[in-house]
Chain A
Amino acid sequence: MGFLLECPNCGKRDVYEFRFGGEAHKRPRVNSSSEEWMKYVYMRENVAGVQQEWWFHRLGCHKWFLAIRDTRDNSVSI
């Protein structure tokens, strides 16, 4: 039914106000190997645990931010 997420600009809000932007991972350099690019484009860690991820405050300040979320219980820290 939706947990609370703390936007650095607006404070704690219902997660439905946000768009999930996926796991944060580093984009390879343009001339990196195709394996590296393949991993970046298609592979995800999908951890059961803590990960850093992007969120966009769609119904608020329209800003992207990084949050640390535990995927097991959706507890979030910034």
Chain B
Amino acid sequence: MLNFEFNGRRMSAFEGDTIASALYASGVRIFSRSFKYHRPRGLLCVSGRCPNCLMSVDGVPNVKACTERVRAGMKVKSQNCWPSLEHDIFSVIDKIGRFLPVGFYYKTFINPPIEWSRVEWIIRRLTGLGDIEEEIASATGKGPKDGRSIHSSSFEHLNLQADVAVIGGGPSGIFAALEAGNAGARVVLVDDQPALGGHLRYSGETLSIDVATGEGAYSGLKSSAVASTLEKAVRDRPNMTVLDNSTAFGIYESNLIGIVRGNSVIRLRAEQLVFATGAHEFPSVFQNNDLPEVFLGRGIQRLVNLYGVIPGKRAVVVSNNDSGLGVARTLMDAGVKLEAYIDSRKAVGAPETLAEIEDAKVQTFLGWAVKEARGSKHVSSVVICEVDNEGELVHGTERVVSCDLVSLSTGFETEAWLLNQTGSRTIYDELLREFIPRELKPTVYVCGDLTGIHDLNIAIMQGKVAGLSAAVNLPAMERSSELKVEYQRKSLETYSRLVSQYEGKYREGMKRTRGPDVLVVEYPGSDKMRKRFVCVCEDVVAKDISLATFEGFDDIETLKRYSTVTMGPCQGKMCSMPSLHLCSRVTGRSIAQTGRTVSRPPYVPVAMGALAGAELHPVKLTGIHYKHIELGARIMDMGEWKRPHVYTSVEEEYKAVRESVGVIDVSTLGRLDVKGRDAGKLLDFVYTHIFSTLKVGKSRYGVICDDAGIVLDDGTVTRLSETHYFITTTTGNVEFVEEWLVWWATALRLDAYITNVTAGLGAVNVAGPKARDLLQKLTTVDLSSGAFPYMSSAEGEVAGVPCILLRIGFVGETGWEIHFPAEFGEYFWDTLLEAGKEFGVKPFGVETQRVLRLEKKHVIVGQDTDALSNPFEADMAWTVKFEKEDFVGKAALVAAEKKEPERMLVGFVMKDSMVAHDGDQVFSQDGSRHVGFVTSSKFSPKVGRCVGMALVTPEHYKEGSLIRVKSDDALNGAEVTLAPFYDPEGKRLRA
């Protein structure tokens, strides 16, 4: 026994019980309160297809109690009731009946009769389904510091592939899977139940199977025993994967099936799809048809045969098809007294069973239907009436049958939604009264109840046909031996012939027994039948549908949106057929003409967390990362990279770089290797600058624009040989630049090959007046300014490691950017720090680097430029070489150059001690006009005040122009500077 809690009470359950079966067995009858009228609702479908048993389980709202297994200690609470399920205050709405007619919210709140704030709290309590509990809300919202929810770790995504995917593990699906597997296909069988077998598991019947199907051996056996045997046969096969407890919720392009299994989403890609999704029952519509203990027939069979629960003492079985007879048998076998068997047909398809029922002294009413159910919190009797040929109740024939359980076998609806998502169609079959598959897309096959035919022999053969067809049509199967192909073709013929024979007989039988359509009972002359519920999710009654149709919403799609029928949690599973019938009755159009609403994925509710999957963020670490940790650096995120923000303090690190030497890990820079005869040509075309004339051993700054002239990226380009260039890009932008270069090389058909070498290379920048002294200790490469001037490069060994050395100066001091194989990172770093000890070397972080570069007014693309910046605005006109015949962006830049720019990037120095923030707004000197915004700003140790850059209107693009920066609500004076704040002539850079 397992113990769990229900609304604070201790409950017990057997292993294998669902919450609903355990509660029902303990006497619980009311499982929820309805959405609008707060009417008591009990179990209906017992298969997860209606809204009646939604509960909150361990804080997760809207869990279906009838499919959720009991786990020891789980906490279950009812929803949508206040203060309790048994006594819900808002159920008075039900008593004043007419309170909320169709379109109530639209009509009432277009011009609210009273102030919204006065009624809001009531409306809020009345509407919505379930509550997200506090602890979950806080965890998923602000929650722990890293912003992760406590649940996220349990979600995951899986990818699977199959030759043939079979959706639905009932008899037809099983035979489809077996047949496809026999033919050599890799099969995945998806089923939403814990065990395979479909209705065989719970129908409780003794099977009679035709020998011609080849499965005659199963005849005379109990259906549940056959289900287990078949399940074992499937699971024993090596080329078969069974996904149980798994619901396919959507079919997407290229035969991708979205499947939810607990907290996982499985993406299954299959060559061929077999749909064996079956059909579900739905209730007919009569007065008070929503009372607790009015069940769907198969729901009762599940309770009895899967969970061993006796559902009531005195039952009435209501039917319009042969499955009702099966339910009557189930109830009698379970020892429930059958008060009456009511069938709207005059003849049944299984007279033997009817005779058995009559032999048991049960009253049978053929040609009768239920007019209403009576009872307050659960059903206590039904009123039945004779039905005329038009399906209307006959006046004066009323009889009351008392009972405590009503079973409805009032119709099947094919589960065709997933099938429809493949683009395959369904049409309404007047004889079968179901939507059946037609015009199947290639690679799509159907079998079983989904075809609108409910017969085990046919299901078996249809399954075989579907499975075998799917397998033989596999592209890879064409290679199998001719003999086999011939054999398969023969079998397929035999199976198909059998299917059409059986089907013909089945249809004959349907014609013989066909009765009037009494899906929605009408009682002429009575307007009292106000509580005929069509949609139990949204509490839409028959009158609402008729009224909405009268009001002009007579297209099934508009009717749906206006009345909200089919829009609740069940998504139309319980109400789509009845509402269709009503709509067609009012409009006089046939069901086929009325058509069904389209249903999109997901077919069942899927938790957002499951769709999102595990919260896994890729993280990139440089080869030196753990050295930074050892040095006590504060680490920051930069895209996917982790970088040291600061080690000791900005002041200390700044001082080291400016006065002796500092080292920074710049392994995060993007690095591309460009080779080929046309490498120079490619770069000339992609960058605004010229690189084909660059001398081997030289570096040059470059800007990449798009054809709109917008700056996309910048970096250095170094020529290593005639046909070999080495490029650096902005951190985090290298994938884009790579794609961009490859695209142009492809589009221009150039002989140039681009390789992203970022991950393979580590890099450090050694900068400061003592950088040369430090490095010269470690290398034989001549670093003197004569031999190795600013903007030149060399390949050589440093500390025994093969390196590319670039003499560039982002931070404005003598310095080398050194690239080396990433695996030497820690060694290289340690060696540098060791060798630099005598000069007082210090590692510096991103924050210090930002101060240093800002003093030099070096632009960071993406920070000092935005999605509208061209090189002129960024004050980098010098990088644009119009003498080139063409390059990316030339046409746009030629045009831009002729125009006055809308804004210019300028430097500024604050007048007082105020430190501006990035993004602060900039105003004219008199404060009257908004003229731009700050892109970067930092306190400059060199200047002794805050310096920065701003994008401002061009009239301020002049040395000494006065502006005001709005910081912390004050307008602070600042002065524009066009030259760098530090070493404007670049003497130190070149030293």
Contact = CB atoms under 8 A, between A and B. Distances in A.
Answer yes or no: do A and B interact.
Answer: yes
Nearest to B706: A41
B250 interface: yes
Interface SS of A by simple majority? loop
Interface in B703-758: 706-708, 735, 738-739, 742-743, 746-747, 756
Given A28-B891, A64-B742, A74 B735 contact: no
Contacts of B891: 28, 30-32, 34, 37
Contacts of A64: 739, 742-743, 746-747
B860 interface: no
Contacts of A34: 891, 895
A37 B743 contact: no
A62 B901 CA distance: 38
Interface in A13-70: 14, 19, 21, 27-32, 34, 37, 40-42, 54, 56, 58, 62-64
A63 B254 contact: no
Contact of B253 (A21, A42, A56, A73): A73
A56 B254 contact: no
Nearest to A64: B746
Nearest to A66: B746
Interface of B: 250, 252-254, 256, 258, 267, 269, 423, 706-708, 735, 738-739, 742-743, 746-747, 756, 885-886, 890-892, 895
Contacts of B735: 58
Given A1-B250, A2-B256, A73-B253, A62 B742 contact: yes
Nearest to B710: A41
A10 to B, nearest CB: 15
A74 to B, nearest CB: 5
A30 B886 contact: yes
A64 B706 CA distance: 18
Contacts of B738: 62
A29 B890 CA distance: 10
A56 B743 contact: yes
Contacts of A75: 253
Contacts of B423: 73
A78 interface: no
A3 B256 contact: yes
8 contacts: A4-B254, A21-B743, A29-B886, A34-B895, A37-B891, A41-B707, A56-B742, A63-B742
A41 B708 contact: yes
A37 B892 CA distance: 8
Given A2-B253, A37-B891, A63-B742, 18 more contacts: A1-B253, A3-B252, A3-B254, A19-B739, A21-B743, A27-B747, A30-B885, A37-B707, A37-B892, A41-B706, A41-B892, A42-B708, A56-B742, A58-B739, A64-B743, A64-B746, A73-B423, A74-B254
B253 A54 contact: no
A34 B892 CA distance: 8
B668 to A, nearest CB: 20
Q: How extensive is the interface on chain A, given as a class?
A: 20 to 34
A34 B747 CA distance: 22
Given A19-B739, A27-B707, A41-B892, A1 B252 contact: yes
Nearest to B601: A1
What 7 A-B pairs have minimum CB-CB distances, sorted nearest first? A3-B253, A1-B252, A4-B254, A30-B886, A3-B254, A64-B746, A74-B253
Contacts of A14: 269
A23 to B, nearest CB: 13
A3 B269 CA distance: 10
A28 B890 CA distance: 11
A44 B226 CA distance: 60
A75 B890 CA distance: 36
- Chain B CB within 10 Å — which of A1, A3, A28 has the most? A1
A30 B890 contact: yes
A30 B756 CA distance: 30
Contacts of B742: 56, 62-64
B979 to A, nearest CB: 34
A28 B267 CA distance: 43
Contacts of A74: 253-254
Contacts of A3: 252-254, 256
A19 B742 CA distance: 13
Contacts of A62: 738, 742, 756
A54 B743 contact: yes
Contacts of B706: 41
Contacts of B747: 27, 64
B268 to A, nearest CB: 10
B267 A56 contact: no
Contacts of B253: 1-4, 73-75
Contacts of A54: 743
Nearest to B253: A3
Nearest to B748: A27
A30 to B, nearest CB: 4
A4 B258 CA distance: 15
B791 to A, nearest CB: 29
A55 to B, nearest CB: 11
- Chain A CB within 10 Å — which of B254, B707, B739 has the most? B254
Contacts of B892: 37, 41
Contacts of B746: 63-64
A1 B890 contact: no
Nearest to A56: B739
Contacts of B890: 30
Nearest to A5: B254
A30 B253 CA distance: 40
- Chain B CB within 10 Å — which of A28, A40, A41, A58 has the most? A41
A30 B739 CA distance: 23
A42 B886 CA distance: 19
B269 to A, nearest CB: 8
A1 B708 contact: no
A31 B890 CA distance: 9
A5 to B, nearest CB: 9
A30 B709 CA distance: 13
A37 B893 CA distance: 12
Nearest to B256: A1
